[in-house]
Amino acid sequence: MSEVTSRLTTEDQKKLSQLFGKADLHLLYKASVHGFSAHSFCAKCDGQGPTVTVGYNNQGFIFGGYTSQDFGKYERKMDKKAFLFRLHNWSSIQPLHIAVNPDAATFINSNQGPSFGDLVFQLESKKIESKPGQSFIFNTSDLCDSNVDLVECEVYRVEELKAPWRNLTWTRNSRNKLIDFIKSYKPYVSSVSKARVLLIGPVGGGKSSFINSTNSVFRGHVTSRSLAGATNAPKKYSTYSFRGDEVGTSPPLILCDTMGLAEDTESGISSDDIISIIKGHVPNKYQFNPASPIKAVTKGYVKSVTVGEKIHCVAYVIDSSKATILSTEMEKKIRGIRSQVNLLDIPQIVLLTKVDEACPLVGKDVENVYRSKYIEKKVMEVGEQLGIPITCIVPVKNYWSDLELDCATDILILSALVQMLRYADDYFEDLDE
């Protein structure tokens, strides 16, 4: 398949961005690469939030439409922010902006391709259909000189650069303060020396990568202590302490890795094993058997358990780069686990991984993570799916391809660890009471 590159020049993109304020454009769909078909368009663009569709004809006209609504179901939607545009042609370099009619602020999802009610991109026939007057007042000649044949169609997700929906300070000094907080942390219960956090999530979600990333931050260079990747998914229960870059320093934190969750009941860790881990009955390096959860009679079963050997916080590790973050089956499974964990009064948090893959705006600069409407939308989606407060959901970027550490990536990882320790202290405080 051909490389997917934008047909818009840098100057074109600047002019197009001006039509909706300061924004970043991410190419989702290119007809000449993905196919001139409604199916290909839907597969790439449904549920992506605000988008701009750009059409090209052989006379050099660049035109299209913007909607702040999701493409998806074939239905009429209200969208008072929608507009049509012509970027330029050979005789004029000034963009043309056609606002939606306030009395009929609609666009229509269609089964032909991108549709804005009065302007439909019929991908199969490589044409546009124009019927001005219902939602927009314009002439077809204004958009494309009445040349309705498409030589290309592109759809971009529009990432508006707005005030951050969470505030972090992205400085080296802030990073060092987070590290100092973690290193000096002391559990609320004096009999416990280190807080234990259990990582749970689907295979390939990023559990092992997060452990490696945490180790990298404290060691001062990128490491690969835990085998990461779906093909190397752990089958054992493993606990990880961390050594600082100074000899003898060890952050008071233990991350516990598990076998990944699976949608079926024949593979993946069982909820019974998860509860046994939380209660402290599963020994380090225990080999899981999905068909036979650990029991009191199992070899190695830990019968006498101290508070320090139990789990003090549970972190669900979920891949944000998937179009559908959690399938219906996985959502049901995690909700079932959450119900059991709730009965044990264990605090729970969500690590939303791979934000750099999910959103190109974040991929360009990690500091944009809390400016990204797309990541904010994913956070809201996970919160609704799992019934967990938004304050308990933390986006992170793991070190998976980097060779050197990055300050902003460190800050996201460290911020997640700080939240884990704070939640563990909630557990200790309730235990003390």
Q: What does the pLDDT profile of the chain (433 residues) look like in tens digits?
A: 446 899 998 888 878 877 877 778 889 999 999 999 999 999 999 888 899 999 999 998 999 999 988 887 666 778 888 899 998 755 556 788 998 887 765 666 567 889 888 889 999 999 999 876 678 888 888 889 899 999 999 999 988 777 889 999 999 999 999 999 999 999 988 889 999 999 999 988 999 999 999 999 999 999 887 665 555 556 789 999 998 765 456 889 999 999 899 887 777 899 999 999 999 999 999 998 888 889 999 999 999 999 999 999 999 999 999 878 899 999 999 999 999 999 999 999 999 999 999 988 898 889 999 988 889 999 999 999 999 999 999 999 999 888 899 999 999 999 999 999 999 999 998 876 5
Q: Kind and range of the H or E element at 330? A: helix 328-343
Give dist(CA 349, CA 188) in Å, integer: 19
Domain at 172-432: CATH code:
3.40.50.300
**229-266 pLDDT tens trace:** 555 556 789 999 998 765 456 889 999 999 899 887 77
Q: Count how many Cα atoms sit within 13 Å of the Cα of residue 99 in the half-sphere of its side chain.
A: 6
8 A C-beta contact, residue 283 and residue 225: no
**57-92 pLDDT tens trace:** 999 899 999 998 888 766 677 888 889 999 875 555
* CB neighbour list of residue 209: distance below 8 Å, 6 or more residues apart: 228, 353, 398, 399, 400
Classify residue 251 as exposed, middle or buried by CB count within 10 Å of its CB (0-12, 13-18, 19+): buried
SS3 315: strand
Backbone angles phi, psi at 398, to 5 degrees: -90, 160
pLDDT of 247: 47
pLDDT of 422: 95
The residue ranges of DSSP E strands in 137-229, in sequence order, are 152-160, 195-200
Give dist(CA 302, CA 283) in Å, integer: 6
In the block, residue with structure tokens 């609704």 = 384
Q: Kind and range of the H or E element at 172? A: helix 172-183
Question: Strand 152-160 vs strand 106-108: parallel, antiparallel, or unpaired?
Answer: unpaired
Domain spans of the chain?
A: 10-160, 172-432
pLDDT of 303: 92
Angle between helices 407-432 and 172-183 (to 10 degrees): 30
pLDDT of 106: 61
The pair of structure tokens assigned to 92 is: 């004029």
DSSP single-letter state for residue 88: E
Give dist(CA 213, CA 410) in Å, integer: 8
In the block, residue with structure tokens 């039509």 = 19
The pair of structure tokens assigned to 308 is: 């320090």
Q: State the pTM of this model.
A: 0.70
